[in-house]
Amino acid sequence: MKQYLLLILPFLFIGCSNKYVSIKSLQPSEISGTNISNVFLEQFTNDDINQTNYLETQLVNAKVDNKKIFTIKPTHEGVDAIISGEVLESSFDFRIYYDESLSSRCVRYEYVNGARTGNCIEYRRLLIPCERRDYRVKTQVKVLNMKHEVIFSKIYSKSDYKNECYRYNEPYFGFMLYNNLNYEKEKKRVNTQLANIIAKEMIEDLSPHYIYQKATLIEELAESFGEKNQKEFEQIVELLNKQQISLAQDKLQELNKKLDSKSYETLYNLALTYEAQHNNFMARTYLLKAQKICKESDDLELIENALIRIKSNELQERKAKSQLSDI
Query: In the chain, where are the structural domains located?
Result: 18-98+127-211, 217-325
Residue 123 has pLDDT above 60, yes or no: yes
- Work out the widest C-alpha separation in the chain, in whole angstroms: 96
Residue 112 has pLDDT above 90, yes or no: no
Residue 7 has pLDDT above 60, yes or no: no
Contact (CB, 8 A) for 282 and 274 = yes
Annotation: CATH topology of 217-325: 1.25.40
CA distance 34 to 143: 12
CA distance 208 to 56: 16
Residue 262 has pLDDT above 60, yes or no: yes
- Secondary structure of residue 228 in the 3-state scheme: helix
CA distance 34 to 149: 13
The predicted-structure confidence for 277-317, as pLDDT tens digits, reads as follows 999 999 999 999 999 999 999 999 999 999 999 999 999 99
CA distance 48 to 155: 17
Q: Do domains 18-98+127-211 and 217-325 have the same CATH topology?
A: no
Confidence of residue 2 (pLDDT cuts 50, 70, 90): very low
Residue 318 has pLDDT above 90, yes or no: yes
Which run of H or E residues covers position 180?
A: helix 176-206
CA distance 199 to 237: 37
CATH of the domain spanning 18-98+127-211: 3.30.160
CA distance 51 to 60: 14
Residue 1 has pLDDT above 80, yes or no: no
For the residues 185-212, what does the mean pLDDT come to?
96
Q: How much is the pLDDT for 178?
A: 52
Phi, psi at 25, each rounded to 5°: -140, 145
Which run of H or E residues covers position 51?
A: helix 51-61
Residue 255 has pLDDT above 50, yes or no: yes
The predicted-structure confidence for 141-179, as pLDDT tens digits, reads as follows 999 999 999 999 999 999 999 988 876 544 555 455 456
For the residues 120-139, what does the mean pLDDT come to?
87
Burial label for 116, CB within 10 Å (0-12, 13-18, 19+), is exposed
Q: How much is the pLDDT for 16?
A: 54
Which run of H or E residues covers position 68?
A: strand 67-68
Quote the pTM value. 0.79
CA distance 258 to 241: 23
Mean pLDDT of the residues in the chain: 89
CA distance 266 to 262: 8
Which range scores top for mean pLDDT: 99-108, 126-135, 275-284? 275-284
CA distance 117 to 256: 78
* Amino acid residing at 36: I
DSSP one-letter string for 229-267 = HHHHHHHHHHHHHTT-HHHHHHHHHHHHHHTTT--HHHH
Q: Which residue has the higher pLDDT, 63 or 181?
A: 63
CA distance 212 to 327: 24
Q: How much is the pLDDT for 109?
A: 86
